[in-house]
Structure 1
Amino acid sequence: MTRTVYFIRHGQTEWNAERRMQGQWESDLTELGRAQAKQTAAAVAALGVEAIYASPLRRASESAQALCKTSGLPATYDDRLKEWSAGDWSGCLYADIVTRWPDEWAAWRKDMWGYRPPNAENFADLKERGAAFLEDLSKTQADRIAIVSHGFITRAMIAHLLDLSPDDALHLETPNDAFFRLRTEPAGWRAERYEAGSRPVSLFNGVTPPDLA
């Protein structure tokens, strides 16, 4: 059996545009974000999808609904697909975080995988809950699955499936107008990234694990 999983980030939000830390706090899609969600929905639906799972946070659920409308499928929401908890930084401008928590910011930037900002998660936490979700997902009957979530949790789940190092995982780029397609092949998972609904143009911006070359 060949399994295909699409990892989709929500469209641009107001806080994305403002450079404000969202975490699990809510922020609405911008007009551009809604257009990005529709564009991605059309591309994924054309490639084929049989089941949709999504984060219940509003920006992801609205993006998922664009795919639901295009594909005619319902979405199943799971709390494990929420973005990382940003703790005390939630809702703060990035520029203000650097000023108010200079030491903590420097520590986080040095070790985003292992360091936890004040009352926040780290990437290791995300990988653990993402792996638990993917384990349950492996038991479903659908062969082509879309997961609509967020930038950080998407990196963590892809890192789990591809067994990426923390450094390679953190170098994955997950813009609001791109999505990943991972497919099982005899040698393991094969990964492609689609940008702006186009044909696949890159693997991880040059980060290509040896088993994917």
Structure 2
Amino acid sequence: MNLYFVRHGETECNKSNLYYGNLDVPISEIGFIQAKKDSKMLENISFNRAYVSKMKRAKQTAEIILDKKECSVTEDFRINERNFGAFEGKNYNEIKELYPKEWKVWCEDWKNAVPPNGESYMQFYGRIKDFMDSILQLKDDNILIVTHSGVIKSVYCYILDNNLDFFWKFNSKNGDITLIKYEYGNIYIDSICHV
């Protein structure tokens, strides 16, 4: 099984370095170009099915990639980006200034700290793990999954024996395509391509 993970195209929030997991924003002009490049790179792949986060930026990217392809698409909240609650739409320094106590806890315990009205990393990872466990039960050859940086980095942790400390050892740029293979009960990262 080939799992093609694609991070959505760039948004204006990306350019401003904002935390915005739960804000539903569109891709930018650059994001559109990145999605077109993804489409070109994946044009010869016949996808059995596609999964996409419920966020507009992921759905727009998927629509561009799948243009003229026959493929069923499922929106799945489990691959939405982490909900940063009150931190949404703010950069690191704004969070530090507006929420000093919560920011301190967040820095000291990034896995378990919960932003006000948000979710902890552990809650977020639970969604990703559930998604991956279900995907690996399928018998398809090629699956497209259009999602977010935090999700993709969490999938890497899943592959690396659920070692969440690896979350900070990877990057996932807008438009990146990661091919993950699942063969003979073994899951591994085959390639990561920047667009």
TM-score by length of 1: 0.82
Alignment of 1:25-104 (within 5 A): 25-69=23-67, 71-104=69-102
Kindly provide the CA deviation profile for residues 159-183 of structure 1, in whole angstroms up to 9, marking residues without a partner as x: 2233242221232211103121111
The answer as to whether partners of 1:162 and 1:189 remain within 8 angstroms in 2 is no
Q: Which runs of 4+ in 1 moved over 6 A?
A: none
Measure how far apart 1:53 and its partner are.
Answer: 0.5
- Match for residue 150 of structure 1 among 148, 151, 165: 148
Q: CA deviation at 1:47?
A: 4.5
Structure 2 length-normalised TM: 0.89
Structure 2 unmatched runs, 5+: none
Deviations 1:184-206 (A, max 9, x none): 2458222121111xxxxxxxxxx
Equivalent residue number for residue 193 of structure 1: 192
Equivalents in 2 of 1:106, 1:70: separation in Å? 49
Percent sequence identity is 25
> 1:128 maps to which residue?
126
Distance 2:49 2:125 in 1: 22
- The 8 Å contact of residues 13 and 30 in structure 1, kept in 2 or not, is answered as yes
Distance in 1 (CA, whole Å) between partners of 2:106 and 2:39 is 34
The gaps in structure 1 that reach 5 residues or longer are 197-213
Indicate conservation of the 8 Å contact 2:45/2:142, yes or no: no
Equivalent position SS for 1:69: coil
The total of aligned residue pairs comes to 194
Instruction: Let me know the Cα RMSD of the aligned residues.
Output: 2.0
- The answer to whether the 8 Å contact 1:42/1:70 transfers is no
Q: Distance in 1 between matches of 2:165 and 2:64?
A: 33
> Do the aligned partners of 1:28 and 1:58 also contact (CA within 8 Å) in 2?
yes
Q: CA deviation at 1:33?
A: 0.5
